[in-house]
Amino acid sequence: MDRKFDRDTIIEAIRRVPLLSPSASRLLELTADPDHDLSQTIDIVKCDAPLTAHVLRIVNSAAFGLLNKVDSIDRAVAYLGERLVISIALGDNAGALFNKPLAGYDGEKGALWRHDLLTAMASRQVSQKARVELNAGLAFTGGILHDIGKGILSDFLHDTAPELVEQLEKHAIVDYLEGERALLGIDHAEAGFEVAKCWQLPEALQMIIRYHHQPQEAPEAYRALVYAVHVGDIIAMMGGCGTGADTLQYPLDQRYSDYLDLTFDDLALILLETQEEFRRIEASFHETKEN
Ligand SMILES: [Fe+2]
Ligand SMILES: [Fe+2]
């Protein structure tokens, strides 16, 4: 395969990615702090008028079927929960990265967002099976952000997906990441890590993004958390929610069992439960977008 672009061109494009809004940044910082409480989340949302409006629109959407209209942001955040509020803030903010069609992966518009949301839900559940205590909120947020690099690389991969799939079938490359590196000199985990650094995300989130396909290489302090998202990502793909041509073209690192106490039955249950949660949440996002 011929190199299409060089790494520096991609890094330059990453430097041009818009920064997150202050409220989204602060919400992400908060998830990294295990001692925070819901009132801090509410305070951040209150200071951001468009976010407040969007949260109220979602809680009052038909998907939640509430009989009485919720008009206080305190009650809306308490009802939706912090995880969903962060998803809304990130969707509003980095929507350009999450929501565009993933042409370079043969993925349709919205595929990355759906994959990220399902990965987040699965990662949170997996994190509760870790052999050490993990911050489940961080696993969720890491799940949302783990593939952020694909939003960047997609533009440069253009129509290379069929070529990459062919290389995979011939076993000329071991996984999609190797194909990305051959064509662009950088893979989506590294590109995402560069975005994470620009956004000054908490270190745990940076590590999840950088090592979600190679959890064994993550620093020991973050390894169990990275494994949770690694497995959550595979569960999302197994559930039929990938991002296009690369779906299930990444190996599962079997050493996850050193960090996670996860049986096959647990995996099947998480797959089922997250699909159900996902359908409900996705419907609420969908409705408010159409209104
Ligand atoms: Fe990935
Ligand atoms: Fe993924």
Domain boundary among 93, 127, 148: 93
Domain boundary among 49, 76, 93: 93
Distance 208 CA to ligand 2 centre (A): 11
- Return the residue matching tokens 């994190």: 127
Number of Cβ within 10 Å of residue 207's Cβ equals 24
- Give the ligand whose atoms come closest to the C-alpha of residue 177: 1
- Give the ligand whose atoms come closest to the C-alpha of residue 187: 1
Q: 266 pLDDT band (50/70/90 cuts)?
A: very high
The number of residues making up the chain comes to 291
Number of Cβ within 10 Å of residue 14's Cβ equals 20
- Determine the pLDDT at residue 103: 87
Structural contact between residues 17 and 198, judged by C-beta atoms closer than 8 angstroms: yes
Residues 77 and 127 in one domain: no
Distance 146 CA to ligand 1 centre (A): 6
Distance 46 CA to ligand 1 centre (A): 33
* % residues pLDDT > 70 (the chain): 98
Residue 223 tokens read as 């390894």
10 falls within a domain = no
* % residues pLDDT > 90 (the chain): 73
Residues 131 and 242 in one domain: yes
Residues 106 and 250 in one domain: yes
Rounded to the nearest integer, the mean pLDDT of the chain is 92
- Determine the pLDDT at residue 1: 81
Spatial distance between the Cα atoms of 83 and 91, rounded to a whole number of angstroms? 12
Report DSSP letters for the chain, one per residue. Answer: ----S-HHHHHHHHHTSPPPPHHHHHHHHHHT-TT--HHHHHHHHHT-HHHHHHHHHHHTSGGG--SS----HHHHHHHH-HHHHHHHHHHHHSHHHHSS-BGGGTB-TTHHHHHHHHHHHHHHHHHTTBSS---HHHHHHHHHHTTHHHHHHHHHHTT-HHHHHHHHHTTSSSSHHHHHHHHHSS-HHHHHHHHHHHTT--HHHHHHHHHTT-GGGS-HHHHHHHHHHHHHHHHHHHTT---STTTT-S---GGGGGTB---HHHHHHHHHHHHHHHHHHHHHHHHHHH-
pLDDT tens-digit series, residues 229-244: 999 999 999 988 898 9
11 has a pLDDT exceeding 70: yes
290 has a pLDDT exceeding 60: no
Residues 54 and 145 in one domain: no
Lowest mean pLDDT of 12-26, 94-108, 155-169, name the range.
94-108
Residues 202 and 264 in one domain: yes
Residue 249 tokens read as 């073209």
- Determine the pLDDT at residue 64: 86
Which domain does 246 fall in, by range?
Answer: 99-284
Distance 124 CA to ligand 2 centre (A): 14
Angle at 164 between CA 274 and CA 255, to 5 degrees: 50
288 has a pLDDT exceeding 70: no
Distance 147 CA to ligand 2 centre (A): 5
For residues 91-114, average pLDDT: 85
4 falls within a domain = no
Residues 135 and 44 in one domain: no
Distance 97 CA to ligand 2 centre (A): 14
119 falls within a domain = yes
277 falls within a domain = yes
3 falls within a domain = no
Q: Which residue has the higher pLDDT, 159 or 22?
A: 22
pLDDT tens-digit series, residues 71-93: 999 999 999 999 999 999 998 88
For residues 35-54, average pLDDT: 95
pLDDT tens-digit series, residues 12-24: 999 999 889 999 9
Sequence-ordered list of residues with C-beta below 8 angstroms from that of 250, at least 6 positions apart, any chain: 175, 176, 177, 213, 233, 234, 237
Residue 237 tokens read as 């793909």
Structural contact between residues 260 and 231, judged by C-beta atoms closer than 8 angstroms: yes
171 falls within a domain = yes
- Determine the pLDDT at residue 229: 98
Lowest mean pLDDT of 14-28, 99-113, 219-233, name the range.
99-113
Q: 270 pLDDT band (50/70/90 cuts)?
A: very high
Residues 76 and 165 in one domain: no
- Determine the pLDDT at residue 291: 45
Distance 243 CA to ligand 2 centre (A): 7
pLDDT tens-digit series, residues 118-142: 999 999 999 999 999 999 999 999 9
- Determine the pLDDT at residue 85: 95
Domain boundary among 54, 72, 93: 93
